[in-house]
Chain A
Amino acid sequence: MPRVRGNKIQLPLTWNVVTDKQASRPMDRTVLIVTYLLTLIGLIIMFSASGVMAETRYGDSTFFLKRQSLWLLTGLVALHWVAQRDYGVWKTLTPYGLFLTFLLLVLVLLPFMGTQVNGARRWFRLAGFSIQPGEIAKLAIVLYLASFLVRKEQDLMTLTRGVLAPMAVVGLFAGLLLLEPDMGTAVVLTLLLFGLLFLGGARLPHLLLLGLVLLALAYMLIMQSDYRRRRLLNFLDPWKDSADTGFQLTQSFVALGNGGWFGVGLGEGRQKLFFLPEAHTDFVLALVGEELGFLGTGLLIALFAILIVKGFKIAGQAPDAFGRHLACGITLLVGIQVLINMSVVSGLLPTKGLTLPFVSYGGSSLIVSLVAMGILLSISRAGPPDRPLSSFGMG
């Protein structure tokens, strides 16, 4: 039924299958449009970045384009399907999802199951496609934390049940990820834990304590692994060893600077010609900078900023605590990855091995991100909290 907001009349999109009585609005268009824009820009720049490399490696310049297009299509279908459904169903799915993800994370470590690339065992290879359980774990942890915050709202103020319990779960997952190793994803999970506990209302001293413990752990991890230490130390002055450890970062700078204000033109970038490693995955933003200039990187920053702001807004308008925590978690998930990836590309953080959501090549990351957006859109459809918060304690 039409609702009057301001002086505009908005109709629910006709193809929205209203499955939930809470659904009283059309999904958030800004989020939808921004998501579409980001994936489209990503697809184009990813093709530009990977074409020559794919031609050299596979004799087919559209090798990555074809795969990514297929993932994108699948992801968008999933996004709309999820967006039209009640997000409440995810709460019931959470325990199974969590267990399944745990299983996958264990299985991927087994030599005969996981495929090793560049010394890391992060992927299952199935019929020519790769599946990365680490990406699925991100969403699983978001769901877990959202439902945890709802279920254990009373315990949140306590250290053991409120803080240490979810920390143990996240720590288990992060530990498995570190075994792959995939430090980037482990860091994202840890930050998610932090962010959601903070937003969920945990006590600041607890979080401070937790933070100190994690910092100590991180320090130990970094100092124990030689390559992590070199990465960390190197990012402080990449030009010192630009031929070796600083190579990727300095090449990223060259790409960005070469782009200038308006870029060298789509497809005209030179840095993707094997100068810039991972030009189509982790460092795709540097390619955006080279081919589309500061205009391109600025636009991406702006689009992501809009998405994040919108995400928190949707959280604030969510009708129940689960929706609110879930929207926060999804927004955090995207925001954390974007901030880290962009900081890495611009040399503000040491190299992590994190992709730029929606833009970088990678099927698991793209589908998980789009499903997450679908959930966010589903929450946006739910009405404002103009009714009593009846969902307390619902399981």
Chain B
Amino acid sequence: MNRSFTKEEVKAAGEGTGRRAFIGLCFLFGFIILFLRFGYLQVLQAETMKLKARQQHEKPITLASNRGAIVDRQGKPLALNLDVSSVYATPSSIDDPAGVAHQLTQVLGVPREPLEKRLRAERDFVWVQRKIEDAQVKRLNDLDLPGIDVVVESRRFYPKGTLLAHVLGFAGIDSQGLEGLENGYDKHLRGQVRQVVLQQDALGRIIIPENRRKPQPLSGHAISLTIDEVIQYMAEEALDQAVQATKARGGAVLVMVPKTGQMLAWALRPTFDPNHIPQASPEQWRNRGVTDPYEPGSTLKVILAAAALETNSITPDTLLYAGDGEVPISGTVIHDHEKAGWLTFREAVQRSSNVAFVKMSWDLGKEQVYQFLRTFGFGEKTGIDLPGESIGILRRPDQWSLRTLPSLAIGQEIAVTPLQLLTAVSAIANEGWLMKPFLVREISDQQGRSVWEHVPHIRRRPISAETAKTVTDLLVNVVERGTGKRAAVPGYRVAGKTGTAQKVDSETGTYSSTKFVGSFVGFVPADDPQLAILVVIDEPQGPAWGGVVAAPVFRKVAEQALRYLSVAPGDESRMVASRSSS
């Protein structure tokens, strides 16, 4: 440098008071800027940032309740939950999808290629296999594959297998009710799905503050059925035997408490195991008791008899001419299987005379027949607490042909569900009161407290108590002397009616000469009915008479159920005669 400085200059500069003040002010200025900046971020931006903070700190979680149990009227479990393990993968933490897929395939037996594809997915979560066996869990744990984890889930389990399967229905893999009561009462069984907001850390792990409890899933409500597991078992066993013996396509046994409409048993064939839905088909799990109308044949005569008696157009002793054994109807002929000559109405019911009933229906007339069928609940839902109920087929009189009325007289040109028929017949057993059938007796909460109880519901009264009594006598006569002899239960007065209906051939649209439905509907004890039972045997091979294929099933179920329920016989003298003890 070509300039020299005086010592004073240097000293003044070195002391640098001015420069120090300048730097100090710079710092102060910096601090003021920072103060304003933090104020902006923490006060003005607070709302926006708090929202963002909530979004990332809070994790809304859907807490599904444990599905409520289904128990029978004695509290025995019919559907409950088991904890099972499911495997899921976190694809982002799997380095070797091919290798992992290979190992998983060996343990779980799942197809390799679709699995590997899922493991390569750009997602944080994929199911590998739901609901696996304990042994598989153990093997997976031993393998300790990265990115593969096991969670415990709840699985629906039906401890009795096929028992009551059609009524129970089943729940899907996410515990959603799909069929039957599982579906119909899904809302109650499932319970509340609660949205809970939990705190999470950046890794998505839930933070539970020490002073708070981890929210526990609630339990859905339990439902108790009117079904009695024991009677159900009796019904299923008797039906199984009959279906096997007759090589029938299927069948149904429905047992109802006529005075209340409570269902005690509901057996259908073919059946399925709700624990193994993938192996079952809709054909098997459809609840034909309410979904499939069929032509009831002679069992419908019970209703027509009641109608005729109620209108006073006939008495049990009225004479009807059925001598020819056939009656011409607009081109065709309706037959009896034997020529009977003059019959009292009582005998006509006893023998199930088609000719007599056709003639009687003409006396009754279209409107009355239609009205009575309607008041007995045909052509409408019974209102049972099951999903998918059919109303059957009952056309309005203005759509009837000349053949319709005589056909109805013998249970044709009408289709009813088994439940409709049983409910209608139960009205006769119940002094004329038509009840609403039901399956669920009570709904109770997690602690077992009752939250809802099913009160029997009277729908209407199609006939008087007097008429009901008269019809009952006619039906007792059927079992004691007529077509229903094989339904007789020793020691009890049984009222009932057989039915043998030709099925309509779906190809030709005419009645088949080979496919029949043999049925029996009745109640017992006749004087104080405790059980109303319908037995339907669908397409039995060999003799198809209801009195042959169905009546014995009625007897078997009624006999066992009466004993199980300790029902006193209606007639003291007969009881003593048949049962020496007690």
Residues of chain A whose beta carbon lies under 8 Å from any beta carbon of chain B: 52, 149, 153-154, 156-159, 195, 198-201, 253-261, 270-271, 273-275, 289, 293-294, 297-298, 301, 304-305, 308-309, 312, 315-316, 321, 324, 328, 332, 335, 339, 342-343, 346-348, 389
Give CA–CA (A256, B49) in the complex, Å: 8
The verdict on B458 contacting chain A, using a C-beta distance below 8 Å, is no
Does the CB pair A275–B10 fall under 8 Å? no
The verdict on B17 contacting chain A, using a C-beta distance below 8 Å, is yes
Bitwise, B200-221 to A at CB < 8 A (1) or not (0) is 1111000100000000000000
Partner of A257, one of B3, B11, B49: B49
Give CA–CA (A256, B38) in the complex, Å: 8
Chain B residue with Cβ nearest A162: B1
Does the CB pair B38–A199 fall under 8 Å? no
Give CA–CA (A301, B10) in the complex, Å: 35
Give CA–CA (A389, B15) in the complex, Å: 11
Chain B residue contacts of A315, Cβ below 8 A? 20
Cβ of B170 to closest chain A Cβ, rounded Å? 42
Does the CB pair A199–B34 fall under 8 Å? no
Given contacts A157-B5, A257-B50, A298-B35, contact A275 B20 (CB under 8 A): no
Does the CB pair B14–A200 fall under 8 Å? yes
Given contacts A275-B201, A321-B14, contact A339 B56 (CB under 8 A): no
The verdict on B48 contacting chain A, using a C-beta distance below 8 Å, is yes
Dominant secondary structure of chain B at its interface with chain A:
helix
Chain A residue contacts of B24, Cβ below 8 A? 308-309, 312
Considering only CB atoms and an 8 Å cut-off, how many residues of chain B contact the other chain? 44
Give CA–CA (A214, B55) in the complex, Å: 43
The verdict on B452 contacting chain A, using a C-beta distance below 8 Å, is no
Given contacts A157-B1, A261-B43, A273-B207, contact A201 B16 (CB under 8 A): yes
Interface residues of B in 73-124 (CB under 8 A from A): none
Does the CB pair A270–B199 fall under 8 Å? yes
The verdict on B143 contacting chain A, using a C-beta distance below 8 Å, is no
Give CA–CA (A326, B380) in the complex, Å: 102
Chain B residue with Cβ nearest A271: B53
Does the CB pair A305–B27 fall under 8 Å? yes
The verdict on B313 contacting chain A, using a C-beta distance below 8 Å, is no
Give CA–CA (A388, B199) in the complex, Å: 67
Cβ of B323 to closest chain A Cβ, rounded Å? 95
Does the CB pair A257–B27 fall under 8 Å? no
Give CA–CA (A90, B22) in the complex, Å: 27
Does the CB pair B34–A346 fall under 8 Å? yes
Chain A residue contacts of B30, Cβ below 8 A? 339
Chain B residue with Cβ nearest A161: B1
Does the CB pair A275–B19 fall under 8 Å? no
The verdict on B45 contacting chain A, using a C-beta distance below 8 Å, is yes
Does the CB pair B38–A294 fall under 8 Å? yes
Bitwise, B13-37 to A at CB < 8 A (1) or not (0) is 1111101110110011011011101
Does the CB pair B49–A253 fall under 8 Å? yes
Partner of B42, one of A259, A324, A328: A259
Give CA–CA (A200, B45) in the complex, Å: 42
The verdict on B335 contacting chain A, using a C-beta distance below 8 Å, is no
Does the CB pair B10–A156 fall under 8 Å? yes
Chain B residue contacts of A335, Cβ below 8 A? 27
Does the CB pair B1–A158 fall under 8 Å? yes
Give CA–CA (A315, B14) in the complex, Å: 12
Dominant secondary structure of chain A at its interface with chain B:
helix
Given contacts A253-B49, A257-B50, contact A343 B34 (CB under 8 A): yes
Partner of A346, one of B14, B41, B43, B53: B41
The verdict on B515 contacting chain A, using a C-beta distance below 8 Å, is no
The verdict on B172 contacting chain A, using a C-beta distance below 8 Å, is no
Does the CB pair B20–A199 fall under 8 Å? yes
The verdict on B187 contacting chain A, using a C-beta distance below 8 Å, is no
Chain B residue contacts of A52, Cβ below 8 A? 201
Chain A residue contacts of B3, Cβ below 8 A? 157
The verdict on B52 contacting chain A, using a C-beta distance below 8 Å, is yes
Chain A residue contacts of B41, Cβ below 8 A? 253, 256-257, 289, 346-347
Chain A residue contacts of B34, Cβ below 8 A? 301, 339, 342-343, 346, 348
Give CA–CA (A309, B27) in the complex, Å: 8
Cβ of A44 to closest chain B Cβ, rounded Å? 19
Given contacts A158-B1, A257-B48, contact A346 B37 (CB under 8 A): yes
Partner of B56, one of A154, A159, A254: A254
Chain A residue contacts of B10, Cβ below 8 A? 153-154, 156-157, 201
Does the CB pair A257–B19 fall under 8 Å? no
Does the CB pair B31–A273 fall under 8 Å? no
Give CA–CA (A198, B21) in the complex, Å: 12
Cβ of A63 to closest chain B Cβ, rounded Å? 18
Given contacts A154-B10, A201-B13, contact A328 B49 (CB under 8 A): no
Does the CB pair A301–B38 fall under 8 Å? yes
Give CA–CA (A347, B34) in the complex, Å: 10
Chain A residue contacts of B207, Cβ below 8 A? 270, 273
A201-B19, A339-B34 given. 11 additional CB < 8 A pairs? A157-B3, A157-B10, A253-B45, A256-B38, A275-B202, A298-B35, A298-B39, A312-B24, A328-B23, A342-B34, A342-B38
Give CA–CA (A261, B38) in the complex, Å: 10
Partner of A289, one of B33, B38, B202: B38
Chain A residue contacts of B39, Cβ below 8 A? 294, 298
Does the CB pair A199–B19 fall under 8 Å? yes
Does the CB pair A298–B38 fall under 8 Å? yes
Does the CB pair A294–B56 fall under 8 Å? no
Give CA–CA (A271, B5) in the complex, Å: 58
The verdict on B461 contacting chain A, using a C-beta distance below 8 Å, is no
The verdict on B556 contacting chain A, using a C-beta distance below 8 Å, is no
Does the CB pair A260–B46 fall under 8 Å? yes
Does the CB pair B52–A257 fall under 8 Å? yes
Chain B residue with Cβ nearest A274: B202
Chain B residue contacts of A156, Cβ below 8 A? 10, 13-14
Best-buried of A154, A199, A389 by chain B (most CB within 10 Å): A199
The verdict on B57 contacting chain A, using a C-beta distance below 8 Å, is yes
Chain B residue contacts of A256, Cβ below 8 A? 38, 41-42, 45, 49
Chain B residue with Cβ nearest A325: B14
